[in-house]
Amino acid sequence: MKKLHILASVLVVLSLLLAACGGGAETPEETQPPVEQPIETQPTEPAVAPAEDKLAEVMARGILIVSSDPAYPPQSELVPNAVRPADTKCATDQKTSAELQGFDIDVSVEIAKRLGLEACFVTPDWTLITAGNWADRWDLSVGSMTITPERMQNLFFSQPYYTTPAAFFVHTDNTSFTQPSDLSGKKIGACTGCTYDAYLSKTLSIPGEEINFIVDDAVFSGYETDSFALDDLALGDGTRLDAVLTAQPTGVQAIQSGKPLKQLGDPVYFEYLAAAIDKAHSKDPTSFVQKLTEVIQQMHADGTLLGLSQKYYGLDLTTAAGEFDVSLLGQ
Protein backbone atom coordinates (compact mmCIF):
# COMPACT_ATOMS: atom_id res chain seq x y z
CA MET A 1 0.00 0.00 0.00
CA LYS A 2 2.82 2.36 0.88
CA LYS A 3 4.43 1.83 -2.58
CA LEU A 4 1.15 2.58 -4.29
CA HIS A 5 0.79 5.74 -2.27
CA ILE A 6 4.26 6.92 -3.30
CA LEU A 7 3.54 6.12 -6.97
CA ALA A 8 0.31 8.10 -6.82
CA SER A 9 2.12 11.07 -5.31
CA VAL A 10 4.70 10.99 -8.09
CA LEU A 11 1.97 10.93 -10.73
CA VAL A 12 0.27 13.91 -9.13
CA VAL A 13 3.53 15.90 -9.11
CA LEU A 14 4.15 15.04 -12.76
CA SER A 15 0.67 16.11 -13.75
CA LEU A 16 1.13 19.41 -11.92
CA LEU A 17 4.44 20.01 -13.73
CA LEU A 18 2.87 19.30 -17.11
CA ALA A 19 -0.01 21.64 -16.38
CA ALA A 20 2.39 24.39 -15.35
CA CYS A 21 4.37 23.98 -18.62
CA GLY A 22 1.22 23.92 -20.74
CA GLY A 23 2.11 20.58 -22.27
CA GLY A 24 5.24 21.93 -24.13
CA ALA A 25 7.01 25.14 -25.43
CA GLU A 26 4.91 27.77 -27.23
CA THR A 27 5.82 28.81 -30.82
CA PRO A 28 6.43 32.54 -30.85
CA GLU A 29 4.08 34.62 -33.03
CA GLU A 30 5.38 35.51 -36.54
CA THR A 31 5.94 39.27 -36.98
CA GLN A 32 6.12 41.38 -40.18
CA PRO A 33 9.46 43.13 -40.88
CA PRO A 34 9.35 46.88 -40.11
CA VAL A 35 8.13 49.07 -42.97
CA GLU A 36 10.87 51.36 -44.28
CA GLN A 37 9.85 55.02 -44.15
CA PRO A 38 10.78 57.11 -47.22
CA ILE A 39 13.63 59.52 -46.65
CA GLU A 40 12.49 63.13 -47.00
CA THR A 41 14.54 65.04 -49.57
CA GLN A 42 14.42 68.66 -50.70
CA PRO A 43 13.24 69.15 -54.31
CA THR A 44 16.19 69.35 -56.67
CA GLU A 45 16.79 72.88 -57.96
CA PRO A 46 17.00 72.97 -61.74
CA ALA A 47 20.33 73.90 -63.25
CA VAL A 48 20.33 77.39 -64.82
CA ALA A 49 16.81 77.94 -66.13
CA PRO A 50 16.79 78.50 -69.87
CA ALA A 51 16.01 82.07 -70.90
CA GLU A 52 12.38 82.24 -71.93
CA ASP A 53 12.76 85.29 -74.15
CA LYS A 54 15.37 87.42 -75.86
CA LEU A 55 15.63 89.99 -73.09
CA ALA A 56 16.23 87.29 -70.47
CA GLU A 57 18.86 85.67 -72.68
CA VAL A 58 20.73 88.94 -73.19
CA MET A 59 20.60 89.86 -69.50
CA ALA A 60 21.89 86.41 -68.49
CA ARG A 61 24.76 86.62 -71.00
CA GLY A 62 26.00 89.99 -69.75
CA ILE A 63 26.80 91.55 -73.13
CA LEU A 64 24.71 93.26 -75.80
CA ILE A 65 25.84 92.29 -79.30
CA VAL A 66 25.21 95.15 -81.74
CA SER A 67 25.71 95.23 -85.50
CA SER A 68 27.22 98.39 -86.94
CA ASP A 69 29.01 99.73 -90.01
CA PRO A 70 32.73 100.37 -89.36
CA ALA A 71 33.00 102.78 -92.32
CA TYR A 72 30.12 105.21 -91.84
CA PRO A 73 31.37 108.37 -90.06
CA PRO A 74 30.21 110.24 -88.08
CA GLN A 75 27.78 107.46 -87.14
CA SER A 76 30.43 104.76 -86.73
CA GLU A 77 34.03 104.13 -87.67
CA LEU A 78 37.10 102.28 -86.46
CA VAL A 79 39.39 103.94 -83.93
CA PRO A 80 42.97 104.04 -85.24
CA ASN A 81 45.46 102.15 -83.05
CA ALA A 82 42.73 101.23 -80.56
CA VAL A 83 43.69 99.29 -77.45
CA ARG A 84 41.29 96.48 -76.61
CA PRO A 85 40.41 96.43 -72.87
CA ALA A 86 41.89 93.43 -71.07
CA ASP A 87 38.79 92.89 -68.95
CA THR A 88 36.25 92.93 -71.79
CA LYS A 89 33.59 90.23 -72.00
CA CYS A 90 33.42 90.62 -75.79
CA ALA A 91 34.46 87.61 -77.85
CA THR A 92 37.63 87.78 -79.92
CA ASP A 93 35.61 88.16 -83.14
CA GLN A 94 33.68 91.12 -81.69
CA LYS A 95 34.77 94.74 -81.45
CA THR A 96 34.75 96.53 -78.10
CA SER A 97 33.49 100.08 -77.60
CA ALA A 98 37.14 101.17 -77.40
CA GLU A 99 37.70 100.07 -81.01
CA LEU A 100 34.83 101.99 -82.60
CA GLN A 101 33.59 105.57 -82.32
CA GLY A 102 30.69 107.67 -83.54
CA PHE A 103 27.11 108.66 -82.81
CA ASP A 104 25.66 105.14 -83.29
CA ILE A 105 28.44 103.67 -81.16
CA ASP A 106 27.78 106.06 -78.28
CA VAL A 107 24.04 105.38 -78.50
CA SER A 108 24.72 101.62 -78.38
CA VAL A 109 27.04 101.94 -75.38
CA GLU A 110 24.46 104.03 -73.51
CA ILE A 111 21.67 101.52 -74.22
CA ALA A 112 23.87 98.69 -72.95
CA LYS A 113 24.88 100.70 -69.88
CA ARG A 114 21.26 101.29 -68.92
CA LEU A 115 20.63 97.57 -69.19
CA GLY A 116 23.67 96.83 -67.04
CA LEU A 117 25.52 95.21 -69.97
CA GLU A 118 28.70 95.66 -71.99
CA ALA A 119 28.27 96.63 -75.65
CA CYS A 120 30.10 94.40 -78.15
CA PHE A 121 30.02 95.00 -81.90
CA VAL A 122 29.95 92.94 -85.09
CA THR A 123 30.14 94.32 -88.62
CA PRO A 124 28.10 92.22 -91.08
CA ASP A 125 27.13 93.45 -94.53
CA TRP A 126 24.23 95.92 -94.53
CA THR A 127 22.05 93.75 -96.75
CA LEU A 128 22.36 90.90 -94.23
CA ILE A 129 21.21 93.19 -91.43
CA THR A 130 18.15 94.55 -93.23
CA ALA A 131 17.11 91.09 -94.48
CA GLY A 132 16.53 89.69 -90.97
CA ASN A 133 17.06 86.00 -90.13
CA TRP A 134 20.26 86.80 -88.24
CA ALA A 135 20.52 83.30 -86.74
CA ASP A 136 21.14 84.88 -83.31
CA ARG A 137 24.59 86.14 -84.37
CA TRP A 138 23.80 89.59 -82.94
CA ASP A 139 21.02 91.02 -80.77
CA LEU A 140 20.10 94.25 -82.50
CA SER A 141 21.21 96.81 -85.05
CA VAL A 142 22.00 100.37 -84.00
CA GLY A 143 23.12 101.44 -87.44
CA SER A 144 21.04 104.46 -88.43
CA MET A 145 18.41 102.22 -90.01
CA THR A 146 15.35 103.96 -91.40
CA ILE A 147 11.97 102.44 -90.55
CA THR A 148 10.24 101.25 -93.72
CA PRO A 149 7.28 98.91 -94.33
CA GLU A 150 9.51 96.51 -96.27
CA ARG A 151 11.94 96.16 -93.38
CA MET A 152 9.10 95.81 -90.91
CA GLN A 153 8.24 92.49 -92.54
CA ASN A 154 11.41 90.98 -91.05
CA LEU A 155 12.38 93.36 -88.25
CA PHE A 156 10.90 95.02 -85.17
CA PHE A 157 11.80 98.66 -84.53
CA SER A 158 12.25 100.63 -81.32
CA GLN A 159 11.30 104.24 -80.71
CA PRO A 160 13.42 106.20 -83.25
CA TYR A 161 16.52 107.69 -81.66
CA TYR A 162 17.11 110.38 -84.29
CA THR A 163 16.13 111.64 -87.72
CA THR A 164 18.29 112.54 -90.68
CA PRO A 165 17.66 114.48 -93.87
CA ALA A 166 18.66 112.75 -97.11
CA ALA A 167 20.45 114.99 -99.60
CA PHE A 168 22.28 114.87 -102.91
CA PHE A 169 25.97 115.76 -103.16
CA VAL A 170 28.01 116.60 -106.26
CA HIS A 171 31.64 117.50 -106.95
CA THR A 172 32.58 121.11 -106.25
CA ASP A 173 33.74 121.57 -109.85
CA ASN A 174 30.33 120.57 -111.20
CA THR A 175 28.32 123.56 -112.44
CA SER A 176 25.83 121.61 -114.56
CA PHE A 177 23.41 120.89 -111.71
CA THR A 178 21.68 123.52 -109.60
CA GLN A 179 18.90 121.46 -108.01
CA PRO A 180 18.12 117.77 -107.38
CA SER A 181 15.67 117.52 -110.28
CA ASP A 182 18.59 118.24 -112.65
CA LEU A 183 19.90 114.76 -111.80
CA SER A 184 17.20 112.92 -113.77
CA GLY A 185 18.85 110.35 -116.04
CA LYS A 186 22.27 110.88 -114.40
CA LYS A 187 24.68 108.43 -112.73
CA ILE A 188 23.90 108.45 -109.01
CA GLY A 189 25.61 106.38 -106.33
CA ALA A 190 24.21 105.17 -103.00
CA CYS A 191 24.28 102.15 -100.73
CA THR A 192 22.71 99.01 -102.16
CA GLY A 193 19.47 97.95 -100.47
CA CYS A 194 19.16 101.11 -98.37
CA THR A 195 16.54 103.86 -98.40
CA TYR A 196 18.53 105.93 -100.92
CA ASP A 197 18.40 103.01 -103.33
CA ALA A 198 14.63 102.80 -102.76
CA TYR A 199 14.19 106.54 -103.25
CA LEU A 200 15.91 106.47 -106.62
CA SER A 201 13.74 103.53 -107.70
CA LYS A 202 10.66 105.39 -106.37
CA THR A 203 9.67 102.57 -104.03
CA LEU A 204 10.54 104.26 -100.73
CA SER A 205 7.84 104.49 -98.05
CA ILE A 206 8.40 105.80 -94.50
CA PRO A 207 5.69 105.73 -91.79
CA GLY A 208 4.59 109.28 -91.02
CA GLU A 209 6.36 110.79 -94.05
CA GLU A 210 5.12 111.82 -97.50
CA ILE A 211 7.84 111.23 -100.09
CA ASN A 212 8.19 113.51 -103.12
CA PHE A 213 10.18 111.76 -105.87
CA ILE A 214 11.83 114.48 -107.95
CA VAL A 215 14.53 112.53 -109.81
CA ASP A 216 13.48 110.38 -112.76
CA ASP A 217 15.29 107.51 -114.46
CA ALA A 218 18.45 107.63 -112.37
CA VAL A 219 21.30 105.37 -113.50
CA PHE A 220 21.95 103.75 -110.15
CA SER A 221 25.37 102.55 -108.94
CA GLY A 222 25.18 100.47 -105.77
CA TYR A 223 27.86 100.50 -103.06
CA GLU A 224 28.40 98.52 -99.89
CA THR A 225 28.27 101.78 -97.94
CA ASP A 226 27.68 105.45 -98.76
CA SER A 227 31.22 106.52 -97.90
CA PHE A 228 32.62 104.43 -100.78
CA ALA A 229 30.26 106.21 -103.17
CA LEU A 230 31.46 109.58 -101.86
CA ASP A 231 35.07 108.49 -102.42
CA ASP A 232 34.31 107.80 -106.09
CA LEU A 233 32.41 111.07 -106.46
CA ALA A 234 35.36 112.97 -105.02
CA LEU A 235 37.57 111.76 -107.89
CA GLY A 236 35.82 114.36 -110.03
CA ASP A 237 36.37 112.73 -113.40
CA GLY A 238 32.62 112.39 -114.04
CA THR A 239 33.02 108.92 -115.51
CA ARG A 240 31.87 107.01 -112.44
CA LEU A 241 29.27 109.22 -110.78
CA ASP A 242 27.47 112.51 -111.24
CA ALA A 243 26.07 112.60 -107.70
CA VAL A 244 25.59 110.65 -104.47
CA LEU A 245 22.44 110.43 -102.37
CA THR A 246 23.22 109.98 -98.68
CA ALA A 247 22.44 111.22 -95.18
CA GLN A 248 23.15 114.94 -94.96
CA PRO A 249 25.44 114.51 -91.92
CA THR A 250 27.48 111.89 -93.79
CA GLY A 251 27.95 114.20 -96.77
CA VAL A 252 28.86 117.12 -94.51
CA GLN A 253 31.36 114.91 -92.69
CA ALA A 254 32.98 114.02 -96.03
CA ILE A 255 33.28 117.72 -96.88
CA GLN A 256 34.79 118.51 -93.48
CA SER A 257 37.33 115.73 -94.00
CA GLY A 258 38.58 117.51 -97.13
CA LYS A 259 36.64 115.88 -99.97
CA PRO A 260 35.82 118.36 -102.81
CA LEU A 261 32.05 117.99 -102.59
CA LYS A 262 29.02 120.21 -102.09
CA GLN A 263 25.36 119.67 -101.23
CA LEU A 264 22.91 120.10 -104.10
CA GLY A 265 19.78 121.96 -102.98
CA ASP A 266 17.65 121.09 -99.96
CA PRO A 267 17.15 117.63 -98.46
CA VAL A 268 14.68 115.54 -100.45
CA TYR A 269 13.15 113.61 -97.52
CA PHE A 270 13.60 112.90 -93.82
CA GLU A 271 14.15 109.53 -92.19
CA TYR A 272 13.24 108.15 -88.77
CA LEU A 273 16.10 105.96 -87.58
CA ALA A 274 15.66 103.30 -84.91
CA ALA A 275 17.20 100.24 -83.34
CA ALA A 276 16.16 97.11 -85.24
CA ILE A 277 15.54 93.63 -83.83
CA ASP A 278 15.21 90.40 -85.81
CA LYS A 279 11.73 88.88 -85.77
CA ALA A 280 13.32 85.47 -86.33
CA HIS A 281 15.32 85.37 -83.08
CA SER A 282 15.11 81.92 -81.53
CA LYS A 283 13.85 83.54 -78.32
CA ASP A 284 10.69 85.67 -78.19
CA PRO A 285 11.89 89.28 -78.79
CA THR A 286 8.68 91.01 -77.63
CA SER A 287 9.89 92.11 -74.19
CA PHE A 288 13.30 93.00 -75.67
CA VAL A 289 11.70 95.41 -78.16
CA GLN A 290 9.57 96.95 -75.42
CA LYS A 291 12.58 97.42 -73.14
CA LEU A 292 14.65 99.05 -75.89
CA THR A 293 11.85 101.49 -76.64
CA GLU A 294 11.57 102.29 -72.94
CA VAL A 295 15.33 102.93 -72.67
CA ILE A 296 15.44 105.11 -75.81
CA GLN A 297 12.44 107.13 -74.61
CA GLN A 298 14.31 107.73 -71.33
CA MET A 299 17.35 108.88 -73.32
CA HIS A 300 15.14 111.36 -75.18
CA ALA A 301 13.52 112.58 -71.97
CA ASP A 302 16.76 113.21 -70.06
CA GLY A 303 18.53 114.92 -72.98
CA THR A 304 21.16 112.23 -73.55
CA LEU A 305 20.34 111.80 -77.24
CA LEU A 306 20.15 115.56 -77.81
CA GLY A 307 23.61 115.94 -76.27
CA LEU A 308 25.06 113.24 -78.53
CA SER A 309 23.43 114.83 -81.59
CA GLN A 310 24.99 118.18 -80.76
CA LYS A 311 28.35 116.53 -80.13
CA TYR A 312 28.51 114.77 -83.51
CA TYR A 313 26.36 116.95 -85.77
CA GLY A 314 26.23 120.36 -84.12
CA LEU A 315 22.44 120.43 -84.27
CA ASP A 316 19.30 118.77 -82.93
CA LEU A 317 18.40 115.68 -84.91
CA THR A 318 16.56 113.97 -82.05
CA THR A 319 13.49 115.94 -80.95
CA ALA A 320 11.30 114.84 -83.87
CA ALA A 321 12.35 111.22 -83.27
CA GLY A 322 11.30 111.49 -79.63
CA GLU A 323 7.87 112.74 -80.70
CA PHE A 324 7.35 109.93 -83.24
CA ASP A 325 4.24 107.90 -82.45
CA VAL A 326 5.62 104.38 -82.14
CA SER A 327 2.09 102.97 -82.28
CA LEU A 328 2.19 103.71 -86.03
CA LEU A 329 4.43 100.67 -86.31
CA GLY A 330 1.65 98.35 -85.17
CA GLN A 331 4.02 96.10 -83.19
- Let me know whether 58 and 182 are in one domain: no
Domain end among 223, 255, 270: 270
First to last CA, the chain: 127
Question: Looking at the structure, do residues 153 and 187 belong to the same domain, yes or no?
Answer: no
Quote the domain boundaries for residue 84.
54-163+272-325
> Are 149 and 213 within one domain?
no
- Examine residue 2 and state whether it is found in any structural domain, yes or no: no
pLDDT at residue 202, rounded to an integer: 97
CATH of the domain at 75: 3.40.190.10
Whether 98 maps to a domain, the answer reads yes
Residue 24: inside a domain, yes or no? no
Give the DSSP H/E element, type plus range, for residue 48.
none
What is the distance between the alpha carbons of residues 161 and 171, in angstroms, rounded to a whole number?
A: 31
Taking the model in full, what pTM does it have? 0.75
Cβ count within 10 A of residue 264: 22
pLDDT on residue 36: 46
Digit-by-digit pLDDT tens for the chain (331 residues) are: 433 343 344 333 334 333 444 444 444 444 444 444 444 444 444 433 445 799 999 999 999 999 999 988 999 999 999 999 999 999 999 999 999 999 999 999 999 999 999 999 999 999 999 999 999 999 999 999 999 999 999 999 999 999 999 999 999 999 999 999 999 999 999 999 999 999 999 999 999 888 999 999 999 999 998 999 999 999 987 789 999 999 999 999 999 999 999 999 999 999 999 999 999 999 999 999 999 999 999 999 999 999 999 999 999 999 999 999 999 899 8
Closest alpha carbon to 248 in 228, 226, 233? 226
105 shares a domain with 60: yes
Report phi then psi at 278, rounded to 5: -70, 130
Residue 271: what pLDDT?
A: 93
Kindly report the backbone phi and psi dihedral angles of residue 7, in degrees, each rounded to the nearest multiple of 5, phi listed first.
-60, -40
**255 lies in the same domain as 196:** yes
Do 313 and 255 fall within a single domain?
no
Number of domains the chain is built from: 2
- The predicted pLDDT at position 43 comes to 44
Q: How far apart are CA 243 and CA 269, in angstroms?
A: 16
Is residue 7 situated within a structural domain?
no
Q: Are residues 293 and 150 in the same domain?
A: yes
pLDDT of 236: 87
Outline where DSSP puts E strands in 226-330.
Answer: 243-247, 261-278
Structure confidence at residue 18 (pLDDT): 36
Contact 121, 105 (CB under 8 A): yes
- Which of the listed residues 247, 270, 293 is the one where a domain comes to its end? 270
Distance CA 119, CA 309 (A): 20
